[in-house]
Amino acid sequence: MPPFEELIWFAAALAGAGLVAGVLAGLFGIGGGAILVPVFYQAFGLLGVDEAVRMHLAVGTSLAIIVPTSLRSFLSHKARGAVDMDLLKSWIVPIPLGVMGASLIAASVSSAGLRAIFAVIAVLVGVRMLFNRIGWRLGADLPPNPWRAGVGVVIGLLSALMGIGGGVLNNTFMTVFSRPVHQAVATSAGVGVLISIPGLVGYVWAGWGSDGLPPFSTGYVNWVAVALIIPITLAVAPLGVRLAHALDKRQLEIGFGVFLLLVAARFFYSLT
């Protein structure tokens, strides 16, 4: 059992991550997982969690927390009439299919492999956040099926491997096809729901019976961390929604992009 002081720092780190994740969930429609996963990885290490399962546990626990956060954010955006419900309905099957694929990969890949996947996706997303331009366009409207369904599968797969709500990927997809950024952010909250619920189930299945898991874990989900953070994220997610409809988010995007690149560097370093 770690010393009491370390447990206090553990709880404080999780609480801080919850505050940031909740605001980001509403602000970017991203679910906050990109913040939570690296914090969980460090915090679980502080508690002595086996390296072989630490990254898997961080990703699975992040997805569990995104469930209520995304629901709260989605309902807040939907009440404003900003969500593209037709797009969400078209992704009810493709996104969970991608998540299922991620669960199968998580069940077989090593901790180092999962960290490498997270780092690569974090670099791509971070670069996108840094160099995003509103004027980038690939078309006047969203592509039809089967292309649209294929995009849904990819968003579900990559997001569930990274423990995020898919907002950054969906925001990019919608805005390069001429959809307003606020509609993209609002719809991304719904995408987070489609990712996090099957992701929670998938990571519980993938880690069922694994050795080295800390107490109060079901598969790759630790319920102590979930219980600590969910109330905080639920409380502050509506604040992020209000900010999303009031702020020019360019500087925040740049800051978030830098953060992702630093996290990617940290994980790449851990692989050496």
Decide: 38 and 268 in contact? Cβ < 8 Å. no
Q: Indicate the average pLDDT of the chain.
A: 86
- The pLDDT value recorded for residue 64 is 94
pTM here is 0.84
Residue 193 has pLDDT above 90, yes or no: yes
What's the pLDDT tens digit per position in 32-65? Answer: 788 888 888 888 887 788 999 999 999 999 999 8
What's the pLDDT tens digit per position in 180-189? Answer: 878 988 899 8
Sign of the dihedral defined by the CA atoms of residues 203, 208, 211, 214, in that order: positive
Compare 165 and 31 and report the one with higher pLDDT.
Answer: 165
Domain ranges for the chain: 4-270
Q: CB 113: neighbour CB atoms within 10 A?
A: 15
- The pLDDT value recorded for residue 220 is 97
Residue 197 has pLDDT above 90, yes or no: yes
Q: How many CA atoms lie within 13 A of 237 on its CB side?
A: 26
33-37, 80-84, 209-213: segment of lowest average pLDDT: 33-37
- The pLDDT value recorded for residue 80 is 87
Distance CA 50, CA 150 (A): 36
Q: Give the whole-number percent of the chain exceeding pLDDT 70.
A: 90
What's the pLDDT tens digit per position in 94-107? Answer: 999 999 999 999 99
